[in-house]
Structure 1
């Protein structure tokens, strides 16, 4: 055997080893792709019930939100009615009640001031006709 034949034999052996390593890598890659395909199929099969459940849940939530919208609208109407009622109450009874309260307060102060002046205990009302002593308020 000559040196060229030995080199060709070594090159052929290296090529066979390269083909064997590539074949092993391709077989492993094929198995990996098969496992990925199986995982995708299982995910697809399990996703369908999940999507149906999510759809049912969203439908239920929408129903509840419609109820909440109705309750909110009713509460808004009630608050508007209460506001209108308080405005009517203030307009019709508020003014006379304030005037009556002011009158009764003024009368009670006047009666107390007059009683104090009659008893002579020196208690004078704020609006009494006696002159104030200097330095005191």
Structure 2
């Protein structure tokens, strides 16, 4: 064997050791990918029923919101009706009621002054 053959054998041995040292991390990386694939499969299997349940919940909530919208519309109509009724009552009864109250106050004041001989104490008496 010549010196070149021995150098080639040494280079081949170093290369084999290098390949063996690099194979260990590559094998570990392969195991990590296998675990990652299993974890993703587990998450996907658990997510499907969860998505079905969320879809059902959203549908039920949507139906309930439709009912609430109907109730809110009825309440809004009732509020408008009550407001219109109170305006009508105020316009119909309010003015005569104020007149009756004023008339009663005038009668009470006149009755109170009729019995007393003192001077009237109002602003016009000054």
Q: What TM-score range do you get, normalising by the shorter chain? A: 0.7 to 0.9
Change (3 A) 1:8 1:97: same
Q: 1:3: Cα distance to partner?
A: 6.9
Q: 2:122 aligns with which of 103, 116, 126?
A: 126
Cα RMSD (Å) of the superposition? 2.2
Contact 1:113 1:125 in 2 (8 A): no
State the distance in 1 between where 2:71 and 2:119 align: 61
Structure 2: which 5+ runs fail to align?
none
Q: 1:6: Cα distance to partner?
A: 6.1
State the distance in 1 between where 2:123 and 2:23 align: 116
More helix by share: 2
1:125 alignment partner, SS class = coil
Specify the alignment match of 1:26 in structure 2: 26
State the distance in 2 between where 1:25 and 1:77 align: 74
2:103 matched to 1:103?
Answer: yes
Task: Give me the TM-score of the superposition, normalised by structure 1.
Answer: 0.79
| Higher relative contact order (Cα pairs below 8 Å, separated by 6+ residues) | 1
Q: 1:9: Cα distance to partner?
A: 4.7
Structure 1: which 5+ runs fail to align?
133-137
- Pairing of 1:27-66 with structure 2 (within 5 A): 27-66=27-66
Change (3 A) 1:2 1:98: same
State the distance in 2 between where 1:128 and 1:19 align: 120
